[in-house]
Amino acid sequence: MAEVDIQEQGLTGAPSPNLSPSPAPCPAPRLVLAEIPASALTPTVTKIEASDNQIQEVKADIAAAANLEELLLYKNKIKTVDPAIGQLKKLKVLNLFNQGVLAKLPWAELGGLGELEELNLAANKIMMIPDAAFAGLSSLKILRSVGVRDEGGAPTPTLTPSVPSSASTTTGSSDSARLCLSPA
């Protein structure tokens, strides 16, 4: 398993294939990402942390990260999410909190993510979540959607887990490698 923490890596696009396994955090000057680097979108990556950047869309190439379990993109400028996100069948955590401009999502595709346990859509311009969007979300434990309404106009409830979320706990698993993206 691999984890890509590009929040502090200072990339503005896809670097040359310069990924190096490292157990420690990658020190790098803070630059701002405009997109998720293509080099981070591989089947070996299980977590992408690219929060607090200027990413404007989740493109179709996200599907290349077939084993992705956590996609943390809070505090970006995401306007669109490609339906290809529905191909991330192992995705457990999707955090799109505080985009400010995100108004709609590919609900049918998101509804097919049966492993999804945590979905954070709060602080966005999403006005409504269709009831059908939850049909296939059998593992969902946490839904944060403050200000979002259901099809009937009622506020969507915020679900809380009976056990702590994997996103809020950190484990020092020795079988996962941390991939550091560094500018060429």
CATH number for the domain that contains residue 67: 3.80.10.10
- Higher pLDDT, residue 62 or 183: 62
Q: How many independent structural domains does the chain possess?
A: 1
Q: In this predicted model, what pLDDT tens digit does every residue of 46-79 receive, in sequence order?
A: 999 999 999 999 999 999 999 999 999 999 999 9
Q: In this predicted model, what pLDDT tens digit does every residue of 107-143 receive, in sequence order?
A: 999 999 999 999 999 999 988 888 888 889 999 999 9
- Higher pLDDT, residue 49 or 174: 49
Domain residues for 154?
Answer: 1-184
pTM for the complete prediction? 0.70
**Number of other CB atoms surrounding residue 176 within 10 Å:** 14
